[in-house]
Each structure stands twice: as C-alpha cells, then as structure tokens.
Amino acid sequence: MALLSAREALTFPGGDNSSDTIINDVHLNLTTLSHWNYTLYSNGSLSNGTWCLLAFQPYTPSYVLPNGTFLNVTWCWTPTHPIDVRGGVAIGYAVLFAIALVLTLVALNKHGRLHLPAEKRFYPIGRRWQWYWGSWVCATAMISLLTSVDVDRYFLPELPIILTSFFWYLMQMGAVALVWEAVRHWGSWMERQFIDPDPFALRDDDKRSKVEFYLPLVFYLFLWLNFFMIVPRNWEPIQHQRYPQQTTNDAEPTATDARFKAGAFMLVVCWLITVYSLRHSIKYYCPRNRGIFNRIIGFVRDTPLRFILVVPLAAALIAYQALVAFRFEYSPLLVGGLNAAIFAGGYTPSVLIVLIQAIFGFLNPNEDRELLRQRRERTQALDREMGIVYKPSWWRRFNGELLDPSASMRDRLLRNVREVHGAKRPAPGGEMPASAATDGTPDVEMTPVSPALSSRPPRSGQSERARQSPPMELPGRLPLTQSTPNSGGAAACQREELMTDGGPPPPSYTEALRAGPSSQAPGAARSVSAQSSTSTSQPPQQIRSMLDV
C-alpha cells in the first residue's frame, strides 16, 4: 500500500483525555494509533502505509487493541460503493458477448464439420481457427467486463482495474487475429475451389504459394510481439490511482510508456498484412483487372461484404489502442475515465466483429457441402454437352427395374437373361406373363451352340484331344451345353443343377488324377492322360502349343 500524501492528512479529533480520540462517535486509543503510525486522511481512511481501513460510518472500527489490531474493521480495498455507470454498461456488453459466444460455437459446429475426406493441402483446422479466435475474444471480453463492475465499487483501486486492463488487451489481440484468420481462410477457400476441377491448375513452388506460406508466419510474429510488449510487465502501478497526484506520478506514466506504444505499432503491422493477404487472394483467384483505377475498383468489387465490414472495424480497434497509449484520459486503464470513449472504442468494434462473423457463418454454407454442389453442377453440365439424359427416379419403379433386395441369385440371373433376349419385364409386384414364359425362348443355361458348330465334322489334321475337348465357354456367361434327343436325362440333371443356388464345389485336379478313369460317369469321355498309351520309360512329351496342355 503506497503512502498517501501528507497534505491530505488530518489531525485526530480530541477525546476524553490526551490518550483518547473520538472518530465518528467511537473512542479509540490515540497512544496505540500513534505507536503504529496510523494517520487519519480527508477521504475517511485510516492508514499507516501498510494497512488501510475505513473510518467513516458505518465502517468505523469499534475498538483497537494495544498490539494494533482493530475489531469490526473494513479494509479500504472493499467494494463499498454501488454499481456505477461503467459497471452497468459493462454488464450489458457482457450479455452481448455471451450471445456472440453461443453463436460462434454454433457456427464452429456448422463449418468445422467434415463431409469430405480431409486433404493434406487443406487441413480441417484451417477453417476452424477463425471460430477459435472468436471464442477467445468473447471469453476474454466477458472477464474484462465483469471485473470492471468492481472498478467503481472499490473504495480504493485494487485488483479489478488490473484484471480489466489485462484481459482487455488480450481481447484486442484476439479480435485482430480473428479478422486475419477470416481473410486468410477465405483465400484458402478460393484456392480450393480453383483447383478442385483441375488439381494441376496451380503450381506448388511459385511465388503465390511462397507468399501464402510465409505470410501467416510474419503475421503471428508481430502479433506475439504485441503480446510480449504488453502482457509480461509489472501491472501494480496501474492500481495507484487513489488520489490525483498518485495517478499522475505512477499510473499514467506506466499506461503510456514505450512498450504500450510499441505494442500498438505491432497491431498496425498485423492489420497491413491482413489487407495485403486480401489483395493477394483477389489478385490470383478473382478476375484480373488492368490499370490502377480498374484494380482499385475490382478490389472493392471482389471483396466480400463481410470483410468490407470487419476490416475497418479492426482498424478502428487498433486506432483506439494507439490513442490510449498516448492519451491516458481516454484509456480503460483509468479509474473513473470517460465511459463513452472506453466502450465505443474499446469494446464496440470487437463485439461487432464477432457478431458479423457469426451472422455470415449462418448465411454461408458448409464448404464441403458447397464443394459437392459445385461438383454436381459440373457433372450435369458435362452430361448436357455429351447429350446424356438421365431418366427420372420414378422411371425404374414404373418399368419394373427396381431390384428386390430379397431376391435370390437365380431370380437375378433370370432377370438378366430376359433383358438379353428382349423378353417383357414382369409388372411391378407381379409374375412373368404367360406369353413371355411360353413363347419358346429357352433359358441361357439350355441354349445350345449353333447346329453348324455342334454337327460340323472335324477338320483334317485335328487332333483327337481337340475333338474330345468340351465346348468352349463364352466369356461372361454360364457354360453352354448341347441338348440332343439322346441326352434328355443328362440335360435335365444339368438343368436342375444349374438352376440351384450354390452346390458342392467341383473336385480338384489332384483328386481327379487320383480317382482315375474308373471314377468317371458312364458314357463320359476319358481324359487324354488316361487314354495315353505312352510308357513312363519314354522321354516326356514335348509341348508344342497351348492346345497340348
């Protein structure tokens, strides 16, 4: 506790004797007060330079012990005054920031959600940083505003004015970072739309990519310089505003020192980097303009409405911080300062920036959904150029093309067969018409090979192995078998086997060799290896072509 000026000290009023004094109808031991160096001041406080207590009604202490202890004491750093204008307005602004915080979190949930696989070039956290900084601004602003309620209520300035000033500067830093992240991510979003149709439209090693890589590093360098210029300091002199002379000697020089001025300059550099980033994105991802006047007009025309609002607000926020670094009478660090300047320049730009961001967050769609919509539009445009017309959704249901998920594999194969042979489709939910079932069109499993192929005599020189080989299977279809009058029973068995879903697997090649020719069905052709009369003592047969395998 700093010593109060001796010019404001008062003489203790007289009491019943030389060792007694009466303060507000309370008798106190004057000898004890003098021994512990207590002095009565004109503001109604009783202090010895270390301890300060209130001596006016109803806070006058009832008794003082010989060791200097007071009974029923109220210290000077106690909120004894009612809420003043600054506290009432601060509560209203705190409510606005609370609403803005809820809207920011809703916008974060909307725009931070992924509907497409994450890409290495565009990290999901990049789109969320602006909402993270919005939450930071709202949180620090509410702490600063709620603690400023006690700034006017404390009898002597104490911790509330330090907390208010500390979180106010953090709020200013977060608001500038919020505007930067909004502008930077807009450029990233424009780049993503630019390369989505053609991933090779932009290079990764040109001047544009290098600027976009180093620009955030430079911005956050100056932003953290602003932080280190302001936050890590001795904040105790700010609370030395208990009388005008102390405010002039201690509080004002500290609040307007070189570090506060340098911190405001760092924010000016951050704002200039933000404007340059906006100009960079418009230059590379928007239509080109020739001539200086056309470029200025194009810059204003292509700038989104959101940035036309928030970028000037960020400039006003920085201008006010630079102003209070030179003029202490307008500063929020001053107890009993000008409330109009404190709230108009200190809190209004920040709350407007957050609210504008939240409003446009509700109006703008999720970026992944917007990218999917653009892809659908490009696909439809290409289909129209190629003359492709898709049937409406009700067409398949009306023509019986809607597949039944409970249908068996046999039903699906028969359906494909009818499509190949041009048979009529069954009505939705109905059976196959009798005319289509009895029109003589055989199933593909029973369709024989062309008679010319089945009855053609073998060519001269054709080997016995080629004549005895089974008929060749057509690719993409089931095996074709010949249907002759003499093989009606075998054909019926084969038809029943093919019409059944599943069945036992055919024997392996090793099992067929072990079984030998005796295991073959009657009437079936023996394998070439079984009919061969070549002795094992002779040299192995030389393979001349794939037909001999």
pLDDT digits (tens, 9 = 90+) for 402-435: 667 777 888 888 877 877 766 555 544 444 444 4
Check pLDDT > 90 for residue 45: no
Q: Is the pLDDT of residue 73 over 70?
A: yes
Q: Residue ranges of the domains in the chain?
A: 6-71, 85-378
pLDDT digits (tens, 9 = 90+) for 144-182: 999 999 898 888 888 899 999 999 999 999 999 999 999
Parallel, antiparallel, or unpaired for β 45-47 and 52-54? Answer: antiparallel
Pairwise CA distance, residues 145 & 171, whole Å: 11
Please name the helix (run of DSSP H) or strand (run of DSSP E) that holds residue 160, with its range, or none. helix 159-195
Question: Residue 497: what pLDDT?
Answer: 59
Whether the per-residue pLDDT at 536 is higher than 70: the answer is no
486 has pLDDT over 80: no
Averaged pLDDT for residues 253-276: 94
- Does the structural domain 85-378 have CATH classification 1.20.120? no
C-alpha–C-alpha distance, residues 111 and 362, integer Å: 9
Amino acid symbol at 169:
Y
Q: Which positions ≥6 away from 149 have C-beta within 8 Å? A: 83, 86, 87, 90, 91, 160
Q: Which of 68-77, 142-151, 210-219, 520-529 has the lowest mean pLDDT?
A: 520-529
When mean pLDDT is compared across 122-131, 264-273, 533-542, the lowest value belongs to 533-542
Which pLDDT band holds residue 465 (cuts at 50, 70, 90)? very low
For the segment 470-490, the average pLDDT, to the nearest whole number, is 47
Residue 269 has pLDDT above 90, yes or no: yes
Decide which of 190 and 402 is more confident: 190
Highest-scoring range by mean pLDDT, 118-127, 283-292, 326-335, 508-517: 326-335
Mean pLDDT, residues 428-453 = 43
pLDDT in tens, 379-396: 988 988 888 888 777 777
Query: Of all residues in the chain, what percent carry a pLDDT higher than 90?
Result: 39
Alpha helices in 231-291 (DSSP H): 244-246, 252-255, 258-285
pLDDT score recorded for residue 475: 44
Average pLDDT over residues 207-212: 91
Does pLDDT of 488 surpass 90?
no
- 473 has pLDDT over 80: no
Strand 9-10 to strand 45-47: parallel, antiparallel, or no bridges (unpaired)? Answer: unpaired
Question: For residues 53 and 68, is the Cβ–Cβ distance under 8 A?
Answer: no
Q: In this predicted structure, what is the pLDDT of residue 173? A: 95
**CA 360/CA 342 separation, integer angstroms:** 27
Residue 448 confidence (pLDDT)? 42
Describe the crossing of helices 258-285 and 305-324 by its angle, rounded to 10 degrees: 170
Average pLDDT, the chain: 79
Report which of residues 45 and 151 the model is more confident about. Answer: 151
Q: Decide if pLDDT at 204 tops 90.
A: no
Quickly state the pLDDT bin for 221 (edges 50, 70, 90).
very high
Is 209 a residue whose pLDDT tops 60? Answer: yes
Mean pLDDT lowest among 77-86, 168-177, 410-419, 442-451 = 442-451
